[in-house]
Structure 1
Amino acid sequence: MTKHRYIALDVLRGLAILGTLGTNVWIFTNAEGFVGYVNGTGDATGVWAPVQDVLQQLAQGKFLGLLTIMFGIGLAVQQRSAVKRGARWPGNYPVRAGLLMLDGVLHYFLFTEFDVLMGYAFTGLVVAFVLASSIRAQRIWTICAVALHTAMLALLVAALAFAPALDPEPLSPNPYADGSFWDLVVFRLENIQIFRLEVIFILPMSIALFLVGARLFGRGILDPECAQLRRKLMLFGFGVALPLDFALGLFGSDAGLVLGRYGTAPFVSLAILAAVAHRYVVEPEPGLIGKALVPLGRTALTCYVLQNFLCSVICYGWGFGLSARLTGETLVPATVAVFVGVSATMIAASTLWLRRFDRGPLEWLWNASYQRLTGKSQERSAVPVA
């Protein structure tokens, strides 16, 4: 690929990693963790309440969508590389999916109930075989996935809209604030069916976005010739979907929030993809922001795990226990500080690491495992979350 395409992909991956942190950091700073975040307890109070709503809505669903699209583009890159080498596709991809599933399982139990790697491993395995079929078959898969997701989303939104308001019970005992590291591992095991519901719910959406990402890459979304398509995506995503997304998230209660996260936010994700791609078609030099994001993109798997590890250490009771000490008036400033501090740490660490190595530490371990199992080394662009 040309220089501007590599830079655009790395910047998009880095942006997706920071965006997921912007979403998930609010979960970490909630005194009841993921449970409190879902139940809507422990929110900011006073003048900070609307600030929290706006900041959360800025990232809500948009970077989940972007990360999912980037996985689809990553699959398309791998497929194109295999075809150029004359290799069969999907070939050894099931091995990659298995390694990614193992990463996700460990990540889920050790650090986060909201891990996406497990879902992406399964989705990637399905889509890898779909990409080996005809364009017509891929379109049918995409249409069916979108239709199924729309139907499931409509049912969930309707249920939330007409459900009676509930007053959730405090989490007692609270393993996030009072438990040990092992207590949280056990808590995730005991509640794995509930905590993995989102992965199951978004499976059709993930399949659709993987396929859309792969198709857009095939159509040349990163190339100068695709300017008209990029403009259309930006116009609809930023001009229509984004205002609607904010209206739903800020004023639509739980039903609106869910409809925005899984309904309008993916269109904003496509607009972000188009905007970044257009920027590096026009000017292939990374610029100041790009120079900060490129190392994150090149070590995306490492940084995804690292951000959740750092937030766990800072916020949970087995670490520094920050979240349990926050009040409604200190929640927003503290959360912003955690986001800025963890982001700066990831940028600095990835930049310094890549001065000596060509892969992140987890990317290196992932590649070594893949090579041991298959006898083949991975290209840098084929590593997960890349």
Structure 2
Amino acid sequence: MPDYLRLFALFGIVVVNVQYIAFSALHGFADPVAETALDAITLWLVNGLSLLKTYGLFSFMFGVGLGFLMRSAARRGLPFGRVYRNRMIGLLILGIAHGCLFFPGDILTIYAVTGSILYLFRDWPVRRLVRVGAALLVVQALIAPPLLLAVPETPPDIVAVERAILTNGGFFEAVLFRSIGFAFIVPTFLVIQGISALGWFCLGLAAVKSGMIDEAGHPLWRRARRWCLLPGVLLGLAGAAIWQWGAPAPGVVLTVVSAPVATLGYLGLIAAFSRPPGPIMSKALAAGGSSLSIYLGQSIILSTIFAGYGFGLWGAVDRLTAVATALVVTAGLVSALLLWRRYFQLGPFEWVLRRITYARLGI
């Protein structure tokens, strides 16, 4: 099930991220940005089906990863505190580099900060983890909409600078612009996304401790699929439709509030498909195990495709084309990692993170 989750989340995340890589990221969250009917339909589907939902899946898997890391450290007799500290430092380094060089909307930095808080919860029983995780998701649903809607309008001259740099500027100009944007974005994201991420971390760790993550047929997965999937998807699509074609504020609220419900439904749906794979799917799942390399590779390749120092397609294509490009890039990365894993045990960025994680531990 973890392998299916990672692969599903990677394709869901990229269709959201490409909206901020291929187009301006300086508009207000609720501002209408679709220029054509096709753009509006594309944004409706992206916001209704993926926005905040697949980040939830990715965050859930982070909590699962902590549980697996605890198991591994105990089995090998390693000092878990030092291993976990090093891992968070490694994520922070990679996240800052990612945010400054390629994509200011980086999530790894937030994971490093909120993941450090999760360490304090590592010995909690399952029931407490579930209660705290659910409470954090509720808190995020309450505070995120007003914060997102309160984002002030960006001055036109800054928008013009963004366009000039990302359409005609060189790599170092783009890095400087992204670094400034990253510095402004991180504090807000730590509140808006960090609370939600920590909630999903708790639920992911609880899934490992309870054994649910190893049992795709667990009754709770069936209940999530039965009670959350259809309502979550319908509410998400309804919220995105109101956001796109009606009053943006209530649409944003409904989209944000329904996201955890849809994510739980997706978890249940993925569990239903988590059966022993055939030869082709087993290879794809193995490549999906290098999710860090795929996530960072998505931003590196897509930012090069759309920025002026690359193919110069920033703002020059419609949003459906951008989504299709993102999906093709992700499929290509999965294929590339298949070849890579024939010769190397870990993906390139997994190798870097592992070297930092087990530094001075003789591993």
TM-score by length of 1: 0.82
Q: Which moved more, 1:295-304 or 1:49-58?
A: 49-58
Q: CA deviation at 1:23?
A: 1.1
Contact 2:59-2:197 within 8 A present in 1 as well: yes
1:71-125 Cα distance to aligned partner (Å, 9 max, x none): 0111111122333445554342111101110000000000001000000011111
Question: How many positions carry a matched residue from both structures?
Answer: 356
1:176 is displaced (CA, Å) by 1.8
Q: Does 1:24 align with 2:11?
A: no
2:189 maps to 1:172: no
Deviation at 1:276, TM superposition (A): 2.0
Alpha-carbon distance change, 122 to 376 in structure 1, aligned in 2, over 3 angstroms: farther
CA gap of 1:81–1:35, structure 2 versus 1, over 3 A, is: same
Q: What is the rounded CA distance, in whole Å, between the counterparts of 2:83 and 2:47 in structure 1?
A: 39
The DSSP-based 3-state class of the residue aligned with 1:222 is helix
- Residues 321 and 37 of structure 1: CA distance in aligned 2, closer, same or farther (over 3 Å): farther
State the Cα distance separating 1:296 from its structure 2 match: 3.6
The correspondence for 2:6, drawn from 4, 13, 23, is 13
Which AA in structure 1 matches 2:361?
G
SS of 1:22 mapped into structure 2: helix
Question: Per the alignment, in what secondary structure is the counterpart of residue 271 of structure 1?
Answer: helix
Change (3 A) 1:86 1:250: same
Aligned pair partner of 2:112 in 110, 116, 121 = 121
User: Is 2:276 the counterpart of 1:284?
Assistant: yes
In 1: Cα distance, 2:110 partner to 2:342 partner: 32
2-side partners of 1:106 and 1:184: how far apart? 13
Is the contact between residue 110 and residue 189 of structure 2 (CA under 8 Å) also seen in structure 1? no
1:200 to 171, 179, 191: 191
1:374 aligns with 2:355: no
Contact 1:303–1:346 under 8 Å retained in 2 = yes
Give the 3-state SS of the residue equivalent to 1:320 in structure 2.
coil
Identity percentage of aligned residues: 24
The offset of 1:220, in angstroms, is 2.5
Q: Retained in 2: the 8 A contact 1:43–1:49?
A: yes
Matching of residues 1-386 of structure 1 within 5 Å: 8-30=1-23, 32=24, 34-36=25-27, 38=29, 40=31, 43-135=34-126, 138=129, 141-142=132-133, 145-153=136-144, 155-156=146-147, 169=156, 171-174=159-162, 175-196=165-186, 197-224=188-215, 226-252=217-243, 253-280=247-274, 283-286=275-278, 288=280, 290-291=281-282, 293-326=284-317, 331-371=318-358, 373-377=359-363
Q: Give the superposed CA RMSD.
A: 2.8
1:123-159: CA deviations, max 9, x gaps? 11111221124456545643553453244136447x5
Conserved? CA contact 1:146–1:204, under 8 Å? yes
Q: In structure 2, do the counterparts of structure 1 residues 230 and 136 end up closer, same or farther at CA, with 3 Å as the change threshold?
A: closer
Normalization by structure 2: what TM-score? Answer: 0.87
Q: 1:352-385: CA deviations, max 9, x gaps? A: 11111111011112222333x23243xxxxxxxx
Q: Is the 8 A contact 2:28 2:153 kept in 1?
A: no
Per-residue CA shift, 1:28-70, capped at 9, x if unaligned?
Answer: 221x3x2248474652414553244224432211111110101
Aligned partners of 1:237 and 1:270 also within 8 Å: yes
Do the aligned partners of 1:245 and 1:265 also contact (CA within 8 Å) in 2? yes
Q: Which residue of 2 aligns with 1:3?
A: none
| Aligned equivalents of 1:116, 1:251: Cα separation in 2 | 27
Would you say the 8 A contact 2:102–2:303 is kept in 1?
Answer: yes
Q: Distance in 2 between matches of 1:144 and 1:340?
A: 34
Q: 1:295 to 1:255 in 2, by over 3 A?
A: farther
1:354 partner amino acid: R
Q: Which amino acid aligns with 1:374?
A: R
In structure 2, distance between residues paired with 1:12 and 1:270: 12
